[in-house]
Amino acid sequence: MQSSCSYKAVLIGNGTMGQRHKRLFEEDGVEFIGVADTAAEAATLFEQIAVGALAPDFAVVASPAVTHDEYVKKCIDIKLPVLVEKPVFVSAVAAMEYQKLALERNAFVFVGHSERYNPAIENFSKTVFFKEMREYLKYWYLQKKDAGPVSFKFTRTHGFSPRNRDVPVEYDLMIHDMDLLSFFGDKNAMMYKSFRCEELSDDRVHAFYDLRTLKAEFIADRNSAKDSRTVEISMNGLSTSLDLGAYRNGNPAYALQKEHQAFLNYLNSYRNSAQDEVHEYDWYGDFYDACNAVIMVSLIGEVYRKGRADESDAK
């Protein structure tokens, strides 16, 4: 999957994912001219960019999730294209603010939701079932017909890992599947009606969302005895099941390589459109979906986690 290029980049966050991004981008010919692993190093890096001592073509942000909004905001301010690991933000307020700001400034923000490039998703998107599902949802929205909803069940569980413990499980694991729901359903189908949680802890969530045209069940557990990454979909008596973990038996880097390829393609398009009077925003749909996923999962924190904290304070 080589596609050699001559871009220069900077990396913020040199942990497991940062090093993985760096290695795979370097295999595609990208040169990293700056690496920061602490807040102080990141501040210095942005100062060097500001004075012209460094001139990267893009940034990769793979720092702890709670710092993403700070670094994405800096990239938007200087219009430095950025690939940021999921979740792009950890609050609905930041998601809505920067969703609007990126569009206003025509700043390119790409969120690393690599599951979109999972072979199981790629293969499913080529099926008749997928095409009929998208048409069904589109027809319901455009014609306002009283159609039955499409049902999804997302299960994502694995054993304990010390990584990504700075955020609760909905921002660590469930965010993957909420983004996939946006990909499956199209933003016009994501009309929020109600949701509820049946189980909730820092490491496990079991939630149900009713989006009128869609009904979605999410099970995410990062302290489970079983590894599982599946999607079950049913529509008008038809059903299918996707195993998102199967491809790791072949090339475990496949999805991330495809993500990088998509990012570089968008980057090429973005740089070319910068020369035009009329800008194309073909990359913005994915960023919109990523922000929308944050807004949707944030309901868990706002309604359930915050409610528990308020109850505790009242006692």
Shared domain for 181 and 223, answered yes or no, is yes
pLDDT at 274: 63
Q: Residue 198 domain-assigned? A: yes
pTM for the structure as a whole: 0.89
CATH number at residue 133: 3.30.360.10
Q: Which two tokens stand for residue 178?
A: 């909420």
Mean pLDDT over residues 152-161, rounded?
94
Whether the predicted pLDDT of 2 surpasses 70:
no
Query: How many folded domains does the chain comprise?
Result: 2
Cα 113–chain centre separation: 4
Domain interval for residue 153: 119-244
Cα angle 303, 305, 307 (rounded to 5 degrees) comes to 60
pLDDT tens column, 200-249? 999 999 999 998 788 999 999 999 999 999 999 999 888 999 999 987 66
Whether the predicted pLDDT of 100 surpasses 50:
yes
pLDDT at 142: 62
Shared domain for 159 and 178, answered yes or no, is yes
Whether the predicted pLDDT of 305 surpasses 90:
no
Q: Residue 14 domain-assigned? A: yes
- Identify the residue whose tokens are 């890992």: 161
Kindly write down the DSSP assignment for every residue of 128-173, as one continuous string. Answer: HHHHHHHHHHHHHHHHT--PPPEEEEEEEE----STTTTS-HIIII
pLDDT at 5: 75
Shared domain for 126 and 42, answered yes or no, is no
Q: Residue 232 domain-assigned? A: yes
pLDDT at 109: 96
